[in-house]
Copies of this chain bind each other. A is one copy, B any other.
């Protein structure tokens, strides 16, 4: 999306947009000649909606490229996922619900075991149990002190945690310390460019490891050091308000997606239990002055990752059953799509086109069902996911004419 064009043309109106994202919605047939998860699902409500909607297949990043959740959502929100990169450390920080600031530098931590000769003998500290690791994380969070920067250490699960460095003049142009296999010494963090920020950040990261080893000494038989990887900084996205003039709200059950929405400047609404709870939150917040709602449904992706075609079908059907509650609110624009495909057949994110449905009063319907192949022949064609925000804004009559 050309964000400058959006800035130039966007206008405030009363219309309301709902972007319903079924994570990993796109799929594949299991057998040749078969149907995808979405095509298989009994979706009378989505099919009826399709019959009065624009359809298309969206491409998240590039031909053949399977996106992670970060780039997938950035593209949905209209940001160029190749320009704005969300490092693993940042996603981890977002995933644990850490409020990442614009100058913060984040990295993933693995607790590990270093033997007497200084080599890594276990990259997961004997698969340290979650409760023991949580105790060590608290120690690191409270006892590690570095010059000029604050550090925060937050636990993820088992041997995994996140460290955030907060201060001025940091950079994520840094290498990992993880040697990737046992029997090797951990690597020092090195700057990957010549900037003074990277040099300084590398020194701070190395000092953190040294301090962490001092704090951990004698506290646990296996977890006597930490490995750092995936350094990343807040991508400093221009906000939804600034670009689109939208007061945007996010309803998501998982911290990572909440975090991605926060990066775009969305407000987080407290979600209820399950998908129905999320939609109940939407209903309760409908008159609160928001003009954009991002609703994130996670279980479709999880079912795809598990290779569970049937469960993915059932979750899609569950969403279909809840659709009338969203339609009952009377959104001016309702889009239903995914951030990428997660075909059960592949058990992972994939590069395939993602079904996209846009309902408004101004559509050119082409089909009577919602599915990958109906979308391929739709009036929006096969198009970059980054264009979705433009479609939503246009159909919401929130864009001025361009030029006289």
A contacts, CB < 8 Å to B: 1-2, 5, 9, 28-29, 32-33, 36, 51-52, 56-57, 61-72, 81-82, 85-88, 91-92, 230, 343, 345-346, 348-353, 362-366, 372-373, 376-383, 387-395, 399, 401-404
Q: Within the oligomer, what is the number of copies of this chain?
A: 2
B86 touches A390 (CB 8 A): no
**Shortest distance between the CB of A258 and any CB in chain B (Å):** 16
Nearest opposing residue in chain B for A400, CB measure: B66
A395–B348 Cα distance when bound, in Å, is 13
A32–B116 Cα distance when bound, in Å, is 75
A179–B400 Cα distance when bound, in Å, is 20
Q: Which residues of B contact A351 (CB under 8 A)?
A: 390, 394, 399
Nearest opposing residue in chain B for A387, CB measure: B63
Nearest opposing residue in chain B for A91, CB measure: B404
A32 touches B52 (CB 8 A): yes
Nearest opposing residue in chain B for A401, CB measure: B66
Q: Which residues of B contact A70 (CB under 8 A)?
A: 403-404
Q: Which residues of B contact A348 (CB under 8 A)?
A: 401
A404 touches B350 (CB 8 A): no
A91–B82 Cα distance when bound, in Å, is 34
A66 touches B352 (CB 8 A): no
Given contacts A390-B65, A394-B63, A404-B230, contact A82 B2 (CB under 8 A): yes
**Shortest distance between the CB of A377 and any CB in chain B (Å):** 5
**Shortest distance between the CB of A368 and any CB in chain B (Å):** 10
A402 touches B64 (CB 8 A): no
- Which of A29, A348, A350, A403 is the most central at the interface, judged by chain B CB atoms within 10 Å of its CB? A403
25 contacts between A and B (CB under 8 A): A2-B82, A29-B364, A33-B51, A36-B364, A61-B402, A63-B394, A64-B392, A64-B393, A64-B394, A65-B402, A66-B401, A67-B403, A68-B402, A69-B404, A70-B404, A81-B402, A86-B403, A86-B404, A349-B401, A353-B380, A364-B373, A366-B377, A376-B378, A381-B383, A382-B383
**Shortest distance between the CB of A256 and any CB in chain B (Å):** 9
A5 touches B404 (CB 8 A): no
Q: Which residues of B contact A33 (CB under 8 A)?
A: 51-52, 365
A349–B343 Cα distance when bound, in Å, is 39
**Shortest distance between the CB of A305 and any CB in chain B (Å):** 12
Given contacts A62-B390, A372-B379, A373-B379, contact A81 B362 (CB under 8 A): no
A207–B174 Cα distance when bound, in Å, is 54
Nearest opposing residue in chain B for A66, CB measure: B401
Contact of A379 among B57, B61, B365 (CB under 8 A): B57
A230–B85 Cα distance when bound, in Å, is 38
A385–B37 Cα distance when bound, in Å, is 29
